[in-house]
Chain A
Amino acid sequence: MLHRLFGHFGLTLYSWLIILYLVFPLAVLIAASFTASDFLAFPPKGFSLKWYARLAGNEGFIEAAWISIKLATIATLLALALGVPAALILARQRFRGKSVVSALFISPLLLPAIVIGVSILQYAHLLGFARTFWALLVGHVVIMVPYVIRTTMASLGGLPMNIEEAAQDLGANRFETFFLITLPQIKPGVIAGGLFAFIISWINVEVSIFNSTAELVPIPVKLFNYIQYNIDPLVAAISAVTVYVAFGVVFLIDALVGIDKAATG
């Protein structure tokens, strides 16, 4: 209907322009990262990999990348360990106070990330663990849990309960039922949720920045601090690498559960 208003090709043309608006900025970063010049240029001047070489030799950024990978991995495992059992109960059980419990798990989605960031700093300050790895970790787990619960519940929703009933009727105990029947069935959804959680940590600035220090700094925060003072092709190279990672993860999630389903719930 809308396409008639635009004329038959109007909507298609307009949509392509918007798609260009979505793709172009990231394409510009990738193009700029291959420049041979010593300053940021788009279109790039010449072609070279020297900024990637510089990045590989930059200890500060390599260190920050390690911190980010460690942080995201541990936080993801923790969020899965907490979120999957919680999702199982929320999807399968009725009990008093259930709505309060599920609100507790979902609220971090609603609360602005910066508010979560300052609350972890202030609280950790009171208890004496401010600006440590632990403060970064708990903040990340808090914002991951809602996503893990949502994706796990979505996979459980598509699973017929009578399979589990049948297993239990045939003498499997609860643990056997969960590990042999339920978990294998929901595995793709859980892995996709884990990947999603990993990325949330990997790109987060608002929660991390309050508990970062000069030595303890995840890569997005490091990059954020760096560009306040320097704008050079090195930033484009780091940015380009993060775009490659994003593409990789999106393709993985697509292969696991289908990106259109994952994105539109």
Chain B
Amino acid sequence: MRIGLWGTVLLLAAPVAFMLAFFAAPFAAVVVSSLQNPDGDWSAANYIRVVSDPYYLKALWTTISIALWVTVITFLLGYPLAYFMAFRVRNRWFKRLLYIIVVTPLFTSNVVRAFSWIILLGRNGFVNDLLMWLHLIDEPLPLLFNKVSIVIGLSYIMLPFMVLSVAAILQNTDTRLKDAARDLGAGPWTTFACVTFPLSLPGVVSGALMVFTLCVSAYVTPSILSGGREVVMSMLVFQQYATVLNFSFGATLAVTLLITAFVLLVAYQIARLGYQKSRRLRGLNAT
């Protein structure tokens, strides 16, 4: 379609103006205020406070460790399911049903999904009752309002993202590559380890980065399932903005959370560039 320069300017004007006014400018305002002291002068005092106070460092560590646990768990649960959906399910209707099952939870709020675990994990909740009935435990395990419940709840919430990003890649892999590996005498193990899995890595990486980022910034799930006993960064951000009303320090915590959320992404990019460079130095084509 020939739109022309004026058409382009005309059509883009409103959306660009809107995003600049209500997305870019507000974000800039947060970054600026995180670098100011109460008098409005430039200062790094807020950031120094975050990195020198053990309370904030502990919250930072809690946040990162929960996010790492959830990333690993969603991979262990999500990869096999994605593989199953991509290669084992032949019936089109059944495949569609599975996609509906995976996607529907994403369309319900985190409040609802976190709340369902309150019913399941309580002292007299279903999980404890079941384990007692099976005689696996003698008395109820403390499953709720601690790190365990946050990890279980977040894993449940993040699982669809991992499944979908791995399934998207596996769905489009050329199955003839697998057949070729088998024809050349590779066993099922070797075929998976040397062909299928490496081909699906982009899906695993994008799924893992997405899950990690979303976990670091998750607010609803940790605050419902921690019972106030564990503190993560997002809860501290909320506290500063909603109860303490110290916007400037809240902004600093928000920027710190943002940096933390991208830690894994940045590390991955650095590792990838390093890998490509080393391959080039060894005279191999970078992939």
Binding site for B on A (CB under 8 A): 1-6, 11-12, 14-15, 18-19, 21-26, 28-29, 32, 40, 42, 81-83, 85-86, 88-89, 92-93, 95, 101, 104-105, 107-108, 110-116, 118-126, 138-139, 141-142, 145, 161, 164-165, 168, 174, 177-178, 182, 199, 202-206, 209-210, 220, 223-224, 227, 231, 235-236, 239, 242-243, 245-247, 249-251, 254, 258-260, 262-265
Contact = CB atoms under 8 A, between A and B. Distances in A.
A113 B220 CA distance: 11
Given A22-B159, A25-B120, A86-B15, A1 B168 contact: no
A88 B11 contact: yes
A259 B258 CA distance: 31
Summarize A's interface: helix, strand, loop or mixed.
helix
Contacts of B33: 122
Contacts of A108: 23
A165 B2 CA distance: 8
A100 B27 CA distance: 16
B126 interface: yes
B234 interface: yes
A29 B100 contact: no
Contact of A145 (B15, B77, B192): B15
Interface stretch (B54-62, B249-257, B272-280): B249-257
B106 to A, nearest CB: 8
A243 to B, nearest CB: 5
Contacts of A254: 96, 100
A19 B81 contact: yes
Cβ-closest 7 pairs across A and B:
A112-B217, A123-B26, A246-B107, A264-B168, A4-B188, A25-B116, A203-B109
Contact of B80 (A15, A42, A247): A15
B146 interface: no
Contacts of A223: 109, 111-112, 115
Contact of B104 (A113, A122, A125, A250): A250
Contacts of A24: 120
Contacts of A231: 118
Most buried by B among A4, A89, A116, A122: A122
Interface of B: 1-3, 5, 7-8, 11-12, 14-16, 18-20, 22-27, 29-30, 33, 77-78, 80-81, 83-85, 88, 95-96, 98-105, 107-113, 115-120, 125-126, 156, 159-160, 164, 167-168, 171, 178, 188-189, 191-192, 196, 213-214, 216-217, 219-220, 224, 234, 237-238, 241-242, 247, 250-251, 254-255, 257-258, 261
Given A2-B80, A28-B116, A260-B96, 19 more contacts: A40-B119, A42-B126, A83-B15, A86-B11, A101-B16, A104-B20, A115-B255, A118-B237, A119-B29, A119-B254, A126-B29, A203-B110, A206-B217, A235-B115, A242-B112, A243-B112, A259-B96, A263-B102, A264-B168
A114 B255 CA distance: 11
A67 B109 CA distance: 16
B191 A1 contact: yes
B29 A123 contact: yes
B241 A118 contact: yes
Contacts of B117: 25
A82 B18 contact: yes
Nearest to A134: B22
A25 B14 CA distance: 43
